[in-house]
């Protein structure tokens, strides 16, 4: 059913903007309470060691310091459970909420100081005497894989998990192949870098035995249940409140040690406690991501048809498995082949523990890395086989007639981890992308030196799995002023949720947008909710709102029919009034007296949506400086159905720039002792306004999702997926005369300069890895 | 100690520690929380305010340095509830998502366009390159600032 307003599909300006633009947003750091104490956290300065002394007496005698919390105050130290993929064996590697006797990464919490101001709390942290007996650090996944120095001795291994994704018979395919090529690739460690650092404000009501925590994000209901369990409370005694959230990208809002420590501190001292993370903490304590390398092979027929992929992927997981820590490793294995038809594949993915900050999901987790690996292999195969890069991809895209298309099976997994591409014609965005980009014309520039710079182009394709279940909830209340309040279990992390949900509700109810108010993300509104991850909010939350609005509309019509003396199907909602065909009507405000309310749930039985698209890019590489200028970037993605083209376009452009940061700039560098060397935004470089001015995005809605009533597909993580592989291939093509092999990200100026200087320095290009073309 | 200055056109006074920086003074002492802190080392620009007409990182300026000066924060950009042309252009072009960097973007752009209402895209990009945004990719921000130029040109 579609309403008469047609907000869905229109570039509706955002409701949220009105407060943000006037400085009236309310972020957790903006909140204060009477008698509030401020928390600062002492974090381990050592990557691996045993705590042999912790003296907080000087802190306790620092003026303004009220309390210090260490493991001793907490008692038995709980560990943080996994939110996703809590597979057997993972319980051995969970993070304790505070370090009691062992530290495993620089930044691990050791003590919490509570004081009258944040500055005084930091003063207190500086006076704590912490003695650590250093242990040899496990600096990277290669050292980890030797299993001689162990992060958890009792487990006997540093291997946290080993996934295998299989389809067909990879070894047989490689034996039968006309062409095989084997390569090693590497992606660096990076992080989401939300502009708002994390923060919490916890309040304990001793009389009521009730804990209220502001600063929740992403998954407040799951975290409410977790916090209740760790504090020994029932979930109904804990509320998590979502305020405005300054960016999520997968990292913000997961359950971190502080999500226990700050509420615990509030209960311990009987004061509200606020903790606002500083940027150094943010870079060393929030989930990091993406550090992966691999040794992989592609097998093709002479005509370019891929018949097999196999190999090993290694994830540098960090010191613990965090709540979402296994999602990227899972995805690296199962989604390695992306949108391509690969009938035979066996990819293993080892997650290895290292003495670095633990990792978790970051926008397109695992997919960004896997796409880089797979697109590089395809580009190399195309070049070796003498096939145009676009044509190579066209020949291998999963075909419309093959839908639904089963993706490889995961081990260890469950029936729920089986998934299939749902719908669509993957060649449509590729064709559109090539046409709008001008592939045939720009191909003439491939590898050419023009005004001192080498030009390169590349194209890549992607699928964006989204909409993890099981369900989402919504409640719609008709208020006494005739407006409708929509409560949704989805969470807002800055993506424009209020506007999109209001569009769906207003359209369905036939109400003006300003008659709908959306409230979200807090456990006080609904019994249960699932939140904002896997680009699921519009799919599941939007569908719950849609179903709820339809049901409310029926209730309104029934109530109006009773009042006006007619059948319900003789009632229409027009401009906020229920009208009968004879012209008589009742206002919604009058009907609200009947207490009209609907609770709705939308469940998708874990059927994912797969948006899909193609991206193309044109770069110019200065061989003298290693600078890569992005001259053009275009993404075309079919998202099923567009609710708000303005916010959708914003998602696409923002993703691409974030992905370009990962491709060219961002790099969390650790030294051999496990010290983070990039602890400020002056060292950890994210894109700025001058870096990438030319980016275009086109959204299609040719093939609505078959698995939800709106036909929408998740669209918050697709455009970022191919960015790394696309940039590496464009640079490789620009520097083809140097036989450049950009197999490692980021494509920093130094790295690119080196690739473009091999001939000049008289050295020989790196020998190509094992390549076989059968004759 | 006590510091007095003009804040969004009105005289204010605050009792602060000497080490308090201007952003903390605005946010914690004067309770004007529109100015955001994203790094506290002058790298992200979220805390940008306008001091005597110049865009300044409020995290790198001590509150005492504001003594006797005129400070404008995001709350002071619009006199009433209506959006200014700059704010309207930000909304139209979807130049904000999470809204955290937005106050700094607005104050920076306002200071720029007040002095240079004819700034071109390249100049705008150079000036806002001191303000980090993780959501938008900057392209819509540049479009919004370009569109807002007309309103600044009309001013006497």
**DSSP per position, A603-671:** E-TTPPEEEEEEEEEEEEE-TTT--EEEEEEEEEEE-SS-S-HHHHHHHHHHHHHHHHHHHHT----B-
**DSSP per position, A4-44:** SS--TTS-PPPSTHHHHTTT---BGGG---TT-EEEEEEE-
Q: How far apart are CA B149 and CA B114, in angstroms?
A: 9
A195–B38 C-beta distance less than 8 A: yes
Quick: pLDDT tens for A228-248: 999 999 999 999 999 999 999
Chain B environment of A199 (Cβ under 8 Å):
none
- Residue A605's pLDDT band, with cuts at 50, 70 and 90, is confident
Q: How far apart are CA A547 and CA A595, in angstroms?
A: 19
| Sheet hosting strand A585-587, strand order edge to edge | A571-574, A577-580, A585-587
- Residue A574's pLDDT band, with cuts at 50, 70 and 90, is confident
B121–A692 C-beta distance less than 8 A: no
Chains A, B: CB contacts under 8 A, how many? Answer: 183
The sign one gets for the Cα dihedral A556, A561, A562, A564 is positive
Is residue A399 classed as helix, strand or coil in its secondary structure?
A: coil
Judge contact between A722 and A389, C-beta under 8 A.
no
Region B8-24 average pLDDT = 97
- Residue A762's pLDDT band, with cuts at 50, 70 and 90, is very low
Q: Helix A367-385 vs helix A327-334: angle between axes, to the nearest 10 degrees?
A: 30
Q: How far apart are CA A476 and CA A524, in angstroms?
A: 15
Residue of A283, A202, A245 whose CA lies nearest to A532? A245
Q: B90 vs chain A: nearest CA distance in angstroms?
A: 8
Region B9-13 average pLDDT = 97
- Cα A669 to chain center, whole Å? 21
Chain A environment of B131 (Cβ under 8 Å):
689
Judge contact between A676 and A284, C-beta under 8 A.
yes
B68 touches chain A (CB under 8 A): no
Q: How far apart are CA A186 and CA A188, in angstroms?
A: 7
Quick: pLDDT tens for A33-52: 999 999 999 999 999 999 99
Tell me whether residue A487 is exposed, middle or buried, using C-beta atoms within 10 angstroms of its C-beta: 0 to 12, 13 to 18, 19 or more.
Answer: buried
ipTM of the complex: 0.98
B141–A656 C-beta distance less than 8 A: no
Chain A environment of B40 (Cβ under 8 Å):
278-279
Cα A366 to Cα A252, A289, A313, A329, A338, distances in angstroms: 17, 9, 11, 6, 11
Q: How many secondary structure helices (H) and strands (E) does chain A include?
A: 20, 33
Those of residues 110-139 in B touching chain A at CB distance below 8 A are: 121, 124-126, 128-139
Q: B154 vs chain A: nearest CA distance in angstroms?
A: 22
Q: Helix A723-734 vs helix A367-385: angle between axes, to the nearest 10 degrees?
A: 30
Chain A environment of B104 (Cβ under 8 Å):
none
A22–B78 C-beta distance less than 8 A: yes
Chain A environment of B38 (Cβ under 8 Å):
195-197, 246, 279, 681
Judge contact between A332 and A369, C-beta under 8 A.
yes
Chain B environment of A653 (Cβ under 8 Å):
136-137, 139-140
The fraction of chain A above a pLDDT of 90, given in percent, is: 94
Q: How far apart are CA A14 and CA A299, in angstroms?
A: 48
Those of residues 32-51 in B touching chain A at CB distance below 8 A are: 32-41, 43-44, 46
pLDDT computed for residue A575 by the predictor: 77
Quick: pLDDT tens for A494-503: 999 999 999 9
- Residue A758's pLDDT band, with cuts at 50, 70 and 90, is low
Q: How far apart are CA A246 and CA A259, in angstroms?
A: 17
Residue A155 has pLDDT above 50, yes or no: yes
Residue A773 has pLDDT above 80, yes or no: no
pLDDT computed for residue B155 by the predictor: 54
In this structure, what is the dihedral angle of CA atoms B100, B104, B107, B110, given to the nearest 10 degrees? -90
- Cα B58 to chain center, whole Å? 9
Chain B environment of A682 (Cβ under 8 Å):
41, 43
Residue A763 has pLDDT above 80, yes or no: no
Quick: pLDDT tens for A631-682: 999 999 999 999 999 999 999 999 999 999 999 999 999 999 999 999 999 9
B103–A689 C-beta distance less than 8 A: no
Q: What is the CA radius of gyration of chain A?
A: 27
Quick: pLDDT tens for A295-344: 999 999 999 999 999 999 999 999 999 999 999 999 999 999 999 999 99
B98–A493 C-beta distance less than 8 A: yes
Quick: pLDDT tens for B71-126: 999 999 988 789 999 999 999 999 999 999 999 999 999 999 999 999 999 999 99
Query: Nearest residue of B to residue A282 by CA position?
Result: B39
Judge contact between A257 and A319, C-beta under 8 A.
no
Phi, psi values for residue A389, rounded to 5°: -60, -40
Q: How far apart are CA A379 and CA A388, in angstroms?
A: 9
B98 touches chain A (CB under 8 A): yes
- Per the rule left: phi > 0, alpha: psi between -120 and 50, beta: everything else, A151 is alpha
Q: Best of A23, A126, A630, A659 to disrupt the B interface by mutation (most B CBs within 10 Å)?
A: A23
Chain A environment of B133 (Cβ under 8 Å):
195, 689
Tell me whether residue B147 is exposed, middle or buried, using C-beta atoms within 10 angstroms of its C-beta: 0 to 12, 13 to 18, 19 or more.
Answer: middle
Mean pLDDT of chain A: 95
B104 touches chain A (CB under 8 A): no
Q: What is the DSSP letter of A272?
A: -
Cross-chain CB nearest to A686 (options B31, B99, B132): B132
Chain B environment of A120 (Cβ under 8 Å):
none
Chain B environment of A32 (Cβ under 8 Å):
28, 31
- Cα A225 to chain center, whole Å? 22
Q: What is the DSSP letter of A135?
A: -
Q: How far apart are CA A71 and CA A78, in angstroms?
A: 10
Residue of B101, B138, B103, B131 whose CA lies nearest to A194? B101
Q: A40 vs chain B: nearest CA distance in angstroms?
A: 15
Residue A774 has pLDDT above 70, yes or no: no
B142–A689 C-beta distance less than 8 A: yes
Is residue A300 classed as helix, strand or coil in its secondary structure?
A: strand
B17–A119 C-beta distance less than 8 A: yes
Q: How far apart are CA B142 and CA B95, in angstroms?
A: 8
Judge contact between A551 and A486, C-beta under 8 A.
no
Cα B118 to Cα A647, A678, B112, B127, B141, distances in angstroms: 28, 38, 10, 13, 16
pTM over 0.90: yes
Q: What is the DSSP letter of A721?
A: T
Residue of A139, A138, A137, A141 whose CA lies nearest to A184? A141
Tell me whether residue A232 is exposed, middle or buried, using C-beta atoms within 10 angstroms of its C-beta: 0 to 12, 13 to 18, 19 or more.
Answer: exposed
B94–A650 C-beta distance less than 8 A: yes
Collect all residues with Cβ–Cβ distance below 8 Å to A316 and sequence separation of at least 6. Answer: A140, A141, A144, A189, A291, A292, A352, A354, A356, A359
Q: By mean pLDDT, which of A218-222, A563-567, A575-579 is the weakest?
A: A575-579
Beta strands A199-205; A292-300: pairing state: unpaired
Quick: pLDDT tens for A442-481: 999 999 999 999 999 999 999 999 999 899 999 999 999 9
What is the H or E stretch that residue A164 is in? strand A159-167
Tell me whether residue A739 is exposed, middle or buried, using C-beta atoms within 10 angstroms of its C-beta: 0 to 12, 13 to 18, 19 or more.
Answer: middle
Chain B environment of A687 (Cβ under 8 Å):
137-138
Phi, psi values for residue A7, rounded to 5°: -70, -35
Residue A129 has pLDDT above 90, yes or no: yes
């Amino acid at each position: 059913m579609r309403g008469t307003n047609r907000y869905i599909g229109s570039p509706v300006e955002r409701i949220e903007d009105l407060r943000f633009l006037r400085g009236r947003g309310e972020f957790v750091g903006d909140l204060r309470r009477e008698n509030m104490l401020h928390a600062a956290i002492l974090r381990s300065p050592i990557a691996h060691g045993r705590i042999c002394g912790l003296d907080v007496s000087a802190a306790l005698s620092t003026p303004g310091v009220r309390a210090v919390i260490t493991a001793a105050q907490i008692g038995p130290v709980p560990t943080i459970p996994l939110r996703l993929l809590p597979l057997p064996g993972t319980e051995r590697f969970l993070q304790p909420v505070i370090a009691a006797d062992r530290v495993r990464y620089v930044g691990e919490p050791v003590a919490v100081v509570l004081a009258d101001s944040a500055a005084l709390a930091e003063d207190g942290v500086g006076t704590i005497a912490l003695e650590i007996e250093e242990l040899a650090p496990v600096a990277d996944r290669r050292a980890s894989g030797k299993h001689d120095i162990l992060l958890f001795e009792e487990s006997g291994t540093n291997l946290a998990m080993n996934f295998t994704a299989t389809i067909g018979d990879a070894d047989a395919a490689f034996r039968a192949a006309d062409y095989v090529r084997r390569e090693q690739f590497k992606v660096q460690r990076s992080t989401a870098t939300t502009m708002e650092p994390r923060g919490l404000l916890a309040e304990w009501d001793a009389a009521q035995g009730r804990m209220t925590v502001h600063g929740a994000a992403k998954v407040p209901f799951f975290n409410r249940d977790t916090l209740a369990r760790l504090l020994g409370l029932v979930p109904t005694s804990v509320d998590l409140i979502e305020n405005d959230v300054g960016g999520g990208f997968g990292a913000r809002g997961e359950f971190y040690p502080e999500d226990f420590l700050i509420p615990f501190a509030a209960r311990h001292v009987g004061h509200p406690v606020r903790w606002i993370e500083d940027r150094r903490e943010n870079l060393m304590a929030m989930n990091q991501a993406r550090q992966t390398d691999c040794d992989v092979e592609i097998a093709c027929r002479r005509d370019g048809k891929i018949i097999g992929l196999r190999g090993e992927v290694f994830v540098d997981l960090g010191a613990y498995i965090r709540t979402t820590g296994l999602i990227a490793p899972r995805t690296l294995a199962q989604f390695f082949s992306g949108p391509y038809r690969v009938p035979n594949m066996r990819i293993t993915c080892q997650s290895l523990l290292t003495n670095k900050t633990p990792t978790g999901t970051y926008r397109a987790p695992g997919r960004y890395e896997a796409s880089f690996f797979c697109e590089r292999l395809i580009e190399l195969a195309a070049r070796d086989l003498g096939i145009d890069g676009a044509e190579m991809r066209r020949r291998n895209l999963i075909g419309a007639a093959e839908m639904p298309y089963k993706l490889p099976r995961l081990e260890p997994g469950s029936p729920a981890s089986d998934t299939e591409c749902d719908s669509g014609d993957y060649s449509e965005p590729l064709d559109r992308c090539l046409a709008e980009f001008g592939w045939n014309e720009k191909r003439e520039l491939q590898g050419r030196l023009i005004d001192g710079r080498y030009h390169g182009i590349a194209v890549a394709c992607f699928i964006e799995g989204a909409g993890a279940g099981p369900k989402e909830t919504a409640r719609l209340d008709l208020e006494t002023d005739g407006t409708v309040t929509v409560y949704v279990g989805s969470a807002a992390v800055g993506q424009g949720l209020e506007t999109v949900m209001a569009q769906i509700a207003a359209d369905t109810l036939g109400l003006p947008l300003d008659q709908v108010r959306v409230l979200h993300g807090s456990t006080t509104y609904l019994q249960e909710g699932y939140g904002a991850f896997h680009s699921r909010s519009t799919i599941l939350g939007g569908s719950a709102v849609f179903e709820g609005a339809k049901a409310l509309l029926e209730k309104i019509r029934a109530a109006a029919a009773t009042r006006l003396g007619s059948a319900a199907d003789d009632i229409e909602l027009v401009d906020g009034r229920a009208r009968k065909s004879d012209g008589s009507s009742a206002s919604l405000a009058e009907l609200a007296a009947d207490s009209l309310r609907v609770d709705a749930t939308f469940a998708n039985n874990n059927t994912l949506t797969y948006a899909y698209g193609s991206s193309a890019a044109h770069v110019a590489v200065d061989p003298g400086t290693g600078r890569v200028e992005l001259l053009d970037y275009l993404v075309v993605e079919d998202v099923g159905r567009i609710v708000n083209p303005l916010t959708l376009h914003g998602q696409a452009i923002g993703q691409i720039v974030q992905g370009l940061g990962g491709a060219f700039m961002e790099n969390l560098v650790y030294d051999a002792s496990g010290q983070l060397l990039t602890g400020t935004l002056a060292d950890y470089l994210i894109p700025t306004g001058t870096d990438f001015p030319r980016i275009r995005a086109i959204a299609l809605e040719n093939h609505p999702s078959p698995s939800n009533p709106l036909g929408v597909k998740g669209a918050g993580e697709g455009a970022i997926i191919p960015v790394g592989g696309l940039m590496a291939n464009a640079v490789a093509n620009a520097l083809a005369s140097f036989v450049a092999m950009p197999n490692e990200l980021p494509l920093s100026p130094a790295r690119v300069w080196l690739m473009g200087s091999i001939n000049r320095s008289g050295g020989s290009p790196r020998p190509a890895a094992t390549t076989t073309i059968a004759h | 100690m006590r510091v007095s200055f003009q804040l969004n056109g009105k005289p204010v006074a605050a009792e602060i520690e000497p080490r308090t920086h201007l952003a903390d003074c605005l946010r914690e002492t004067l309770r004007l929380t529109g100015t955001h802190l994203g790094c506290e080392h002058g790298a992200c620009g979220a805390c940008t305010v306008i001091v005597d007409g110049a865009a300044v990182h409020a995290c790198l300026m001590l509150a005492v340095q504001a003594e006797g000066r005129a400070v404008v924060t995001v709350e002071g950009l619009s006199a009433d509830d209506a959006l200014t042309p700059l704010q309207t252009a930000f909304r139209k072009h979807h130049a904000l998502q999470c809204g955290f960097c937005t106050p700094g973007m607005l104050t920076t752009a306002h200071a720029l366009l007040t002095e240079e209402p004819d700034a071109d895209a390249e100049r705008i990009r150079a000036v806002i390159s001191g303000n980090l945004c993780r959501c938008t990719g900057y392209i819509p921000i540049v479009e919004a600032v370009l569109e807002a130029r007309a309103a600044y040109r009309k001013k006497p």
